[in-house]
Amino acid sequence: MSADDAATTYGEWEPVIGLEVHAQILTASKLFCGCSAQFGAAANEHTCPVCMGMPGVLPVLNRRALEYALKTALATGCEIPPSARWARKNYFYPDLPKGYQISMYEEPLAVHGSVDIDTPAGTKRVPLTRIHMEEDAGKSIHDAHDESSLVDLNRAGVPLMEIVSEPEIASAAEASAYLRALRAILQFLGVCDGNMEEGSMRCDANVSVRRRGDTELGTRTEIKNVNSFRNVERAIDYEIRRQIDVLESGGSVVQETRLFDADRGVTASMRSKEHAHDYRYFPEPDLLPLVVDRAWLDELRRDLPEMPRARCARFVAEYGLPAYDAEVLTARRDLADYFEAAVAAHRNPKAISNWIMGDILRLVRERKLDEELRIVDWPVRAASLARMVALIDDGTISGKIAKTVFEEMVASGEEPADVVARKGLTQVTDTGAIAAAVDDVLTRNADKVAEFRAGKDKLLGFFVGQVMKATGGKANPQAVNDILRDKLAG
């Protein structure tokens, strides 16, 4: 689904959407202790007195987590204020061991950034209000026993970034485009794997609608619990239409938190504003204000990788790729890296792009090689793909044979030259052999030769096919064409 035009989708109504994205920062250890931040361990295996909130223990900031959050801030053009401040967000829940979450409140890490997205009307710049860091809570398990709940604190203290957009997103499709663009940035930086299904990227949406031209904002609802890009779009679209229905039937929107039910495709009320928590935020006295060293910041800025949109533009300019190819290839850093590695080995960007966008991505999808939202196991190595394209380009194999070679490479892991040698797939370029095959085909199809000579040009393809068949597909197609034309003209 491409970013549709909000004006035509919602009629006289204008949606106003702001997104809060929680992105898990890809560090080895937790935000305030040395415990592993990895998923998948047995319950409470990755815990210590600090992340269990035992008495008297204190948080110590993970410098790497800060570095990653700063990279994100720099890559989205944020300002980094001279100092940020940790704050406690107080509420009681069994999976929140200290009874408060260490977060940032009045003085966030970064402010005033932006993320560019593509819309039918062109590039749109979605402003960011802020980026701040915080620790994740643990996990409550309510259905394991009838009479008690269980708590797993492996996730408690895992570092998160909260990236808050301004309410300047105008449709569900724009929201989705924003999330994808943001994910691409995070993945390019290597600071978050952006996996919504696994919860390493989570999104809350603040949605309101107003009549086009109104300057006052409508009452907003907050949608939580949306766990895929597709569902973000569905949830927001549903919520926009629900609010429009409410307003058009003379009702008013209630400020509340709503949960998205993916099975039914609807949002439902979770708690109203009257039941909203008073989180009693106050500055965290166990941590000093965060004063970011400017020299370090300059260093991080200098070392930022090329961001997806810049890389996309360069792919068009430097490799002459069509815009669509460049967008697909730069949607993910690993894909872009793969492409450039192949092009570095053999400079035929368009052919390599075609192979990646066709056969490579098809296999990735079919074989689910991208479960982590980064391709962990490429069907063939970039250099091998490049060598295969080189074999086509130097006439050793035909494009048709290349399909066979490719399948063999995937199946056996062999180099293309080895496949060609083993299976005897070298293209026949010996014109004498081809001419003999042509003569044979023309002799056996004298009636069609007559038809061709009478003006039925389309039969050329038939003759080519017959010759290729006779040579086991190994004949050089260009040579076959040339000889056929020559003899048919005769």
Distance CA 287, CA 87 (A): 9
Q: Does 307 bind another protein (CB under 8 A)?
A: no
Candidate list 18, 97, 194, 379; residue touching another protein; CB under 8 A: 97
- Minimum Å gap between C-beta 30 and another protein is 14
If binding is defined by CB under 8 A, does position 58 make contact with another protein?
A: yes
429 binds another protein (CB under 8 A): no
How far is residue 286's CA from residue 98's CA, in Å, rounded to a whole number?
A: 13
Binding mask 61-80 for another protein (x = CB under 8 A): x-------------------
- Applying CB under 8 A, which part among 119-127, 273-281, 326-334, 339-347 lies near another protein? 273-281
The pairing of beta strand 221-226 with beta strand 201-211: antiparallel
Of residues 88 and 234, the one with the C-beta less far from another protein: 88
The distance of closest approach from Cβ of residue 61 to another protein in the complex, given in angstroms and rounded to an integer, is 7
Cβ at position 280, least distance to another protein in Å: 4
Question: Quick check: 280 binds another protein (CB under 8 A)?
Answer: yes
Q: Which stretch binds another protein (CB under 8 A): 167-175, 234-242, 253-261, 282-290?
A: 282-290
Counting every residue written for the chain, the total comes to: 490
Contact 383, 345 (CB under 8 A): yes
Among 40, 55, 250, 432, the residue binding another protein under the rule CB under 8 A is 55
- Alpha-carbon distance 75 to 305, whole Å? 9
Stretch that binds another protein, among 57-65, 215-223, 408-416, 429-437 (CB under 8 A): 57-65
What string marks each residue from 142 to 171 as x (binds another protein by CB under 8 A) or -? -----xxx-x--------------------
Alpha helix (H) residue ranges in 367-430:
382-393, 399-412, 416-423
Those residues with Cβ within 8 angstroms of residue 26's Cβ, 6 or more apart along the chain or in another chain: 68, 190, 191, 192, 193, 200
> Can you count the helices (H) and strands (E) in the chain?
17, 15
Say how many C-beta atoms besides its own lie within 10 A of residue 429's C-beta.
14
| Residue 287 is a binding residue for another protein (CB under 8 A) | yes
Does 289 engage in binding with another protein (CB under 8 A)? no
The answer to the question of residue 92 lying near another protein (CB under 8 A) is yes
Q: Which two tokens stand for residue 396?
A: 């050793």
Minimum distance from residue 291 beta carbon to another protein (Å):
13
**CB 90, min distance to another protein, A:** 5
Among 1, 121, 217, 288, binds another protein (CB under 8 A): 288
For 6-25, give one letter per residue: b (16+ CB within 10 A) or e. beebbeebbbbbbbbbbbbb
Query: Cβ of 371: how many Cβ atoms within 10 Å?
Result: 12
Q: How far is the CB of 282 from another protein (least distance, A)?
A: 6
* H/E stretch holding 224: strand 221-226
Q: Which of 60, 217, 304, 310 binds another protein (CB under 8 A)?
A: 60
Task: Give bridge partners of residue 272 from the DSSP assignment.
Answer: 256
Between 197 and 286, name the residue whose CB sits nearer to another protein. 286
Q: How far apart are CA 166 and CA 114, in angstroms?
A: 9
The bridge status of strand 282-283 relative to strand 86-90 is antiparallel
Question: Which of 46, 85, 98, 309 touches another protein by CB under 8 A?
Answer: 98
Shortest Å, Cβ 19 to another protein = 25
Instruction: Note the helical H segments in 206-348.
Output: 229-248, 294-302, 308-319, 323-329, 333-345
By CB under 8 A, name the binding residues for another protein.
49, 52-61, 88, 90, 92, 94, 97-100, 147-149, 151, 278, 280-282, 285-288
